[in-house]
Structures are given as C-alpha cells and as structure tokens.
A and B are shown apart, each in its own frame.
Chain A
Amino acid sequence: MTVAVHGSSVREVLGSVRRLRRRHSPKSGADRFTDAYLGAFLFAYGIAAVGWLFDVDLTGASFSFHDTVIWMPVALFVAMWGVIRHGTWQGPVLYSTPEMQWVVSSPLDRRQLVITRLVRAGTIGAIAGAAGGLLVTIIAATMTDVGLVGVFVSATVSVIAVALTSVALAWHTERSVVLSTAVTRSSPLVAAVAGILVAGVTTGHELPVLWSGPWGWASASSIAASGGEVTGWPIMVALLVVVTVVAVGSAVVTADHIPDEELWRRAEAKSTAAAAMYFGDLRTVRRVAKRQRARSHVRGRTRTVRHPRRPWLVVPDWDLLTLRRDPSRLVTSAIFTAGAFVAAVAAAERAILGIVAFLALYAAAARLVEPIRVEVEQPDGHLMLPWTWGTVLVLHTIVPVVAMTVMGWIGIVVVGVAGFDGVSGLWPFAVVAPFAAGAFVLAAAVSAARKPFPIETLVGGGDASPVLAVLWFLVGPALAAIVINIAFGMLRTGLEGDPAGIMSSVLFLAAGTAAFATWLRTRKPASP
C-alpha cells in the first residue's frame, strides 16, 4: 500500500503531541491554578524556613555571610556530582515509552530530538541555577549589608554556568557506556574529593578549594563579594565560562551519539521509577537506578557463601556477601553514624542536636536492615530455608548489629582521640555500644518487617490519613526512642560515678532488644 507522506519537523511533532496530551489531561484550569498557588506558597515558606534556620543558630556559634558562603564550593560540587550521576541511569535526554514507540521511532531527525531535550534540561538547570543565586542573595540579605544586586548577579550567573556544565556532562555520561561506568565506579574518589574540600574549608584553605574546579570558580565571585580575599577571581570566572562553552558545545556536537536501545532502557526505567514514586516507594526507584547502572558495572560474583560451622551462620554470611557486592548500604550507614557522632558531640549545647543524632543513628540502622525488606517483598523465599519466617528475619539482624557496633566503637575512638573527653573517659559508651546497636537495629527491623506503607491510606483515609501516615513511619523510631532514652538516662548516672548505672543501662538495652527480637520471631509472612 502506498501512502502519501510529507516531512515534519521535530518541533512540530513534539508540539502536536504536547497539545494532544494537554487536551486529554485530567487537570482543569482550576487544578493548574491550585498547583501554581501551592507552589508559590511552599516557595515562600521555604524561604522563611531558610531564614529561620539561620536565626535559630543551632550550634551556638555565630556565622557571618562569609562563613556561610565559603561552603558554596562544597554545595556546588555535590550538586554537580548529583546531576552527573543522574546521567548514569536517566540523564537529561529522556523520552517516555509512548514517545519512544511513536515519536523517536518515526523518521524524525535524531539530532534534533536529542537537542530538544538537552535544551529543556538546560533550561531547567538555568532555572535551578537562578534559584540557587537567589538563595545566596537571601542569605546575604539576612547576614550582611553588602550590595545585594552584585551578589545576586555574580551568584546567579556562576551557578547557572555550573548547572549548564553539569547538564552537558550528564549527557556525556548518558550517551557513553565507558563514561557511565567510570562515573559509577568513581563514587569513592568523589567522596574523597568532597572530604578534601570540606577539610579545606574548615581549616581555612579557601584558595586551593576555589581553584580546584568549576565548583570553586563559580563560588569565587560570591566569596569575593562577601569580603573574602580571593586572588584571581576574574580568571576563575573566565575559566568557568570557557569550560561551560566547551561542555555545552561538545554536548551539541555529540547529540546523535546514542543508540535507540539505550533510550529505550532509560524510558522503561523512567516509567517504572515514576510508578514507584507515585506510591512513595523510594526503594524501587533506587533499585531501578542500580539496575540501569549495572548494565556496565557487573561486579565479579564468583565468590559465594562459605561452608558455615553451624547452618544458621549461613544467613549472616549471605548478608556479608551481599554487602561486599554492594557496599552502598554500609557507606550510607557509616555517613549517618558519623553525622550522628558530630551532632552528639555538639548536642551538649543544643538539645535539638541530640534528637538529630538519635534520628541519624536510627537511619543508619534502618539502612542496614534492607535484607528484611527483601524478605517482606519475597514472602515465599524463606520456604527454601529450614527456619520460620520470623527466625530468618532475626538472623538477618546479626550483621547490622555487628556493623553498627563496630561503627560505634570507631566513632567513640575518634571522638576520644579528637580530645573531647579522652578515650579512657568514654569506656562506658564502648560497653553500651553493642547493646545500643542491638536496640536500634531491632527497632528498625520491627519497622521494616511490616508491609510497605499502604499508600491508599493517604488517598482514601479521610482527614486522619496524614496523621496515620506519620504514625506509620514513627513506629520504628518511637520504639528505639523509648528504649534508648531510658537506657541513656541510666547511663548518665553511670557516668557520674555509679557503676550500677552502666550495668542497668546495659541490661535495659538487652531486654529491649530481646523484646523486639521476640516480636520479630513471631511474625508470619503475608498470605499470597
């Protein structure tokens, strides 16, 4: 059959699809107005929250604009890395599966299709950059009387440049398997660089930090405006402009360097992740991202579990095996634990930091009990094993308890060596650490052993549904808080010289942990 055809431009086709979709959109004009109103409302509250954060003065120290803006290179470095890493599984050029089926597969100019999406991502990046510049200006307005217009222009332009560079680099990551693999594998290196930048800022070595890359170059003018002595900041701005032009130019030149298969994989990942996000299922989003990255990042899997002395030891060995293959859970947990120690040390002056430290430790434990969530998702999996479902769950808490104990001991030694109390004064904490780790991990395990949050509660639960949602997520932290709070109350008397206080603290933590374990052991999997 012969059909008469005429050529269409990418712009026409995409515009037409957009119009058609809008025509069938369930959103009315009133809905759109509500969205805009809510957006403006939240933005205003966000700005107020930033102001409040600086007013409450959490650490008890006083900050100047310069003390704050000096952290800009670190913030930009992290943001830049986040955008580039996003390119390992999604990236700036993203089409939905229907668009892949009906638009990208049609005989349209591939280059234009990619550039259209690059322009869109660049625009979003520029808007985010402008918002970042506005944030710096707001901070400046609350802390200093320097010329705000100058601060706004320098911050906005430079942050927009970083955003555009990041989008361009994310595109290169997206189109190249080699680069994507390199980005995925370089996380430890990036963490090390971030650590060096933080160390540079805290020890007053600002200039090397500023010269270290686009994140520093983009911060130079703002830091100079805050009164800092920044030698050669105009050169840094010039370097930033050159890098941005080169990055964006190379992205445009390589616009057709991506196979259909890759765009399809990303479209499918986007579709799955969007559905999971709708239900607030962040674990699935994380898993989709990991799977997408794994295409170029299959680790050696020849090592397997060892022959255990006792059959039940196979479960901890299995958890160690999976942690070795994917250490990200351990790394995140270590970061939370480190944050908790920093907050705990500062908590002597601000009680709110004590709560932050507690929540960070709970988050560290919650991150480690991932195998329990896998068991919940896979209720038939345990049928292969000789133990009840509840027993399998308890066995899965062994490695997290050991890991948290070790991290706790390391934290105690670091705090001691840093000279806060001396290591010898911290021994009661070292004694209590394994039992506290048990209470945190088992409380997190009790929470994780439930089915995922029933999102329908939020949709059809009536006025009380937000309260129910909050209560749902509070169960784990609340259980941990009850046990930890009482135990640390007892420990306080131990620190004041009464050894019985330490003993009773240990016994109370052990009893709480045992109670959680007993509850966990009686759980049954959901019926199929």
Chain B
Amino acid sequence: MRSGSTEGLQRVGLPIRWSMALRGSPASTNRNSVTDPNESQPLIDVRLLGRDYGDVTALDDLDLEVEPGSVVAFVGQNGSGKTTALRLIAGRLEPSRGSATIAGVDVQDHQASGYLRSLVSFVPDQPALYPDLTVLDHLHVVGFAHGVDAVDERAESLITRLGLERRSHSLPRELSRGMRQKTQLACALIRPFSVLMLDEPVSGLDPGSRRELHALLGEAKAEGAAVLLSTHQIDFVEGLADRMVVLRDGEVVTVGTYAEVTAGGVAEELGLR
C-alpha cells in the first residue's frame, strides 16, 4: 500500500499533502480548515452536487474540497444521503445537478474513466465479491489487474492483518458477512490508490477488526491518500477523520471535527450516539 498510494499520487502529478479545506456550509466556513499555504488545487472538488430520485432529494448541494492525506467522514442516519454522496463523488451515480472532480477530472467524463479508476479505490456498502473466486483469488486478481508488484507478499500481509488466514481459500458464500467485508477491504487496500472511498466499512466487523481497519486507514492517510468514508458509527472516526460531514435527509447539517460535532450535541440529536 505504501508504494501504491505514493505511486498513484505521483501519477496524478500532485504533491503528497495532508491538508484539506471544506466549504459551503455555515459550520465550516473557514472555522477549522487546515489549509496548506502551498495548496493550489484540491484532489477532490465537489460543487453543489445533488441527486434526486423522482420527488425525493437524496442529496442536495454538497460542496466539498478534499486534499491528499486527509480523511472525511460522512455521518448520518440511514437514508441521510451518505451512500449517495460517495457514489456521486466516485462517479458511480449521475448527479441531478452540480459536479465532482478528482485530480481535476470530471468523474462523469467517461473518456477518463480508466484514469479515474487508477486513482480511486471504492468499497461499496454491500460486499460485491465474485462467487467463484476465493479470498486469495480476489486479492490476486485485483493486484495483478492493477499491475502491483509483489502481490503475494501484500496479499499475505493484508490477510494476516485482517484475520483472514484460515479463510483464504474460502468462497464468498462460505464466509460470514464480516469476513466478506474484510475481503472487500483487503481488495481495496492491495491496489495503489490516491483516493479511498469506503461505504459503511465497519458494518459487520468485530472490535479487533475495527481497530485494525482504523490503523490501516490511518496509514493510508499518513501516506498521502484522501480517504472518504460513510458511517453511522461515529466513534469509529475518532482520531481518524479530519472532518465530519453530518447529513440529514440529504442536506448537510454541519461540518466539523469529531470534537466539534460530538460537543455540539448534533450527534445525540440525530441519534448517532
């Protein structure tokens, strides 16, 4: 992962920075932005992004800038728009309005989809594994497809760290929900990336695996990757997320650090604690 994420960033042509700026919501306006003075262009730039499903607005006017080496957590109850936000930013959904760019490339630009894929590692909320491949097969296929060197060593390391050793030759149907989730996380982490997006990454994980995932994401952040994740378990992002974007019914309620969000009573108000 170390060489991978760095390699990805180098391909993008961006320096590795741990800075981020969020804008567009009253709670965040310049209040706690940590902005690198040398910063010229965010890695992820989201402008007034929104998506409707008929009369229902799943996400409205999301405005966001994310720098390399930072973690942004979307938190909110079920149906608050977290998954929609991640999928829109990943280019997996078409927006009803607004735009999102990654490394200056519009995520809806299908001509550049190959390039975007080399930057973004995405973990959907439901484990999406191939029924006829084992855990180890998945890691090998993903690693080889992305041209990773030393796939065997990296796979072994991830399998050990995520506690999958005894199930490495199992098919997805023979795994529990948590094991499938770990497999998917391992697949996301074995490849190079500049942006890591994880939709509800801790659902189904035991406390030990949550700690290990926390550490892995911390390493990704330290190596310069931009990490976006969604969760309704806000304790998980303590000490990890630089910013939390709190969503309710598709709208940004507030943006702030973990301490700000938890101290303001928003978490309790939304039933997140």
Residues of A in contact, count (CB < 8 Å): 30
User: Separation in Å of the A167 CB from the closest CB of chain B?
Assistant: 30
The answer on a CB contact under 8 Å between B144 and A311 is yes
Contacts of B25 in A (CB 8 A): none
Which of B114, B118, B130, B134 makes the CB contact (< 8 A) with A304?
Answer: B134
Alpha-carbon separation in the docked complex, A315 to B117 (Å): 17
Which residue of A has the minimal Cβ distance to B84? A528
B188 at interface by CB-CB < 8 Å: yes
B142 touches A307 (CB 8 A): no
Contact A308 B173 (CB under 8 A): no
Whether B130 pairs with A381 at a CB distance below 8 angstroms is: yes
Binding site for B on A (CB under 8 A): 287, 291, 301-302, 304-305, 307-308, 311-312, 314-315, 318, 321-322, 325-326, 374, 378-381, 383-388, 527-528
- B130 contacts A374, C-beta separation under 8 Å: yes
Which one of B63-71, B120-128, B227-235, B257-265 is at the A interface? B120-128
Q: Which of B128, B147, B191 contacts A380 (CB 8 A)?
A: B128
Interface positions of B from 60 to 109, Cβ below 8 Å from A: 87, 90, 92-93
**Provided the pairs A307-B151, A383-B92, A383-B128 are in contact, do residues A302 and B169 lie with their beta carbons within 8 angstroms?**
yes
Whether B129 sits at the interface, judged by CB under 8 Å, is yes
- CB-contact partner of B145 in A291, A380, A386, A388, under 8 A: A386
**Bound Cα distance from A315 to B113, whole angstroms:** 19
Give the number of chain B interface residues (Cβ < 8 Å). 36
Whole-angstrom distance from the CB of B96 to the nearest CB of chain A? 13
Q: Which of A307, A378, A381 has the most CB of B within 10 A?
A: A381
Contacts A/B (CB < 8 Å), 29 sampled: A301-B134, A301-B137, A301-B169, A301-B171, A305-B137, A305-B141, A311-B144, A311-B146, A314-B140, A314-B141, A314-B145, A315-B141, A318-B137, A321-B137, A374-B132, A378-B129, A381-B130, A383-B90, A383-B128, A384-B128, A384-B138, A384-B145, A385-B117, A385-B142, A385-B145, A387-B117, A388-B110, A388-B117, A528-B124
Q: How far is the CA of A385 from the CA of B187 in the complex (A)?
A: 10
Partner of B93, one of A378, A379, A380, A527: A527
- Contact partners of B128 in chain A: CB under 8 A: 378-381, 383-384
Partner of B136, one of A304, A307, A311, A315: A304
> Contact at B133–A322, with CB atoms within 8 Å?
yes
Q: How close is A326's CB to chain B, nearest CB, in angstroms?
A: 7
Asked whether, in the complex, the Cβ of A383 is within 8 Å of the Cβ of B141, the reply is: no
State whether the Cβ of B54 lies closer than 8 Å to any Cβ in chain A. no
Judge whether B131 is part of the interface by a CB distance below 8 angstroms. yes
Contact yes or no, B141 A386, CB < 8 A: no
- Name the one of B124, B171, B173 contacting A383, with C-beta atoms under 8 angstroms: B124
Q: Is the CB of A528 within 8 A of B130?
A: no
